Amino acid sequence: MLTSLREHTRFATQPTKFWKDLRPTGTITTASSLRQGVIQLFQQYLPGCSVAPKEKTFFHIHLVSDATGETLNTVARAAAAHYADFQALEHVHSLVRTTKLLDRVIQDVEQNPGIVLFTIIDQELRRALEQACAKLEVPYVSVLDPVVNTFAKYLNAESRPQIGGQHALNAEYFKRIDALNYTMMHDDGQHTEGLNAADIILVGVSRTSKTPTSIYLANRGVKVANVPMVPGVPLPSALEQLDDVLVIGLVASVERIAQIRRNRLLSLNETTFTDYIDKKSIAEEISNARKICQRHNWPVLDVSRRSIEETAAAILNLHQEKLNAA
């Protein structure tokens, strides 16, 4: 069991025979094994992970990319989530496209040994990083290799990689920008005259994550408006006249909303007790919100135990069902 960062750093410099067996010539050969392979790497690198320590053990993880590094962030955090007793200290190295920048990365890895995940297209830079990691005896993996290799086999075609190709300024990119502009303009019940241009409209009482969910969906290219349900204030008439736009109600448990609202008031240095945080009043708000949604046949999602990403995924499923039924 590693009980300190110093002990863990010593472990990080030891050879990892497991990783040598696990690399592409071994068990990681397909896209389906990528996630499991990274998880296994974490498990080997974090000994005693099945035994809960009194305090979290920290470890270093280096995310090296010649683009934005979003792919690496997603993979690393998905794998790290399997080890709640350990805390990753992320070292994010984005836009690494020159030898000079790579030397800085290698220096950081040497000073803070840990797992290295990378997505680098330039073969010379890639080889230099792999050789440095092997010399330092730290585990490393090119996270896209299994996926790209699977594509190549299935399509019987050779890949032609482009640095940051997924971020090209194409029609899809401008669609996302357009969606973000629309969503920001129609946040919190603003400009209700334009609701008919939305793909999705979210309604709900205060503190049900309408705005962050809307922005997350907008980044996926979906135009989202959100309208608050305020006690004593009727919903915009334009909202009730829409038939072709998907309207979804967001609710949460009384306890959850009360907690978030209380924290919100504390952040504003407001200590006065009001109906805004009164659980009985909140329960009435939620009940009325459900009744309104039921009256208009709007689906309702309980976001009490959902992350923004999970809520967005459920909303996209409902949106696809509506499109399929059209």
CATH at 83: 3.40.50
> Is 91 a domain residue?
yes
Based on the fold, state whether residues 225 and 138 are members of the same structural domain: no
> Is 27 a domain residue?
yes
Question: How many structural domains compose the chain?
Answer: 2
> Is 117 a domain residue?
yes
pLDDT in tens, the chain (326 residues): 333 333 444 334 343 434 444 444 444 445 455 666 666 666 666 655 544 445 779 999 999 999 988 889 989 999 999 998 999 999 999 999 999 999 999 999 999 999 999 999 999 999 999 999 999 999 999 999 999 999 999 999 888 877 766 655 567 888 889 999 999 999 999 999 999 999 999 999 999 999 999 999 999 999 999 999 999 999 999 898 888 899 999 999 999 999 999 998 888 888 787 889 999 999 999 999 999 999 999 999 999 999 999 999 999 999 999 998 87
> Domain range for residue 94?
5-155
Q: What are phi and psi of 181, to 5 degrees?
A: -60, -45
pLDDT of the residue at 56: 78
pLDDT of the residue at 6: 38
Type of residue numbered 242: L
Q: pTM higher than 0.75, yes or no?
A: no
DSSP calls for 44-80: HHSTTTTS--SSPEEEEEEEEESS--HHHHHHHHHHH
| CA–CA separation, 184 and 100 (whole Å) | 40
Q: Which of 67, 194, 209 is nearest to 125 (CA)?
A: 67
| CA–CA separation, 253 and 282 (whole Å) | 9
List the 224-228 sheet strands across, edge first. 224-228, 200-204, 246-251, 300-302
Based on the fold, state whether residues 92 and 186 are members of the same structural domain: no
> Is 161 a domain residue?
no
| CA–CA separation, 62 and 93 (whole Å) | 7
Q: Which of 125, 155, 185 is the last residue of a domain?
A: 155
Based on the fold, state whether residues 203 and 307 are members of the same structural domain: yes
Based on the fold, state whether residues 140 and 225 are members of the same structural domain: no
> Is 256 a domain residue?
yes
pLDDT of the residue at 7: 40
Based on the fold, state whether residues 19 and 142 are members of the same structural domain: yes
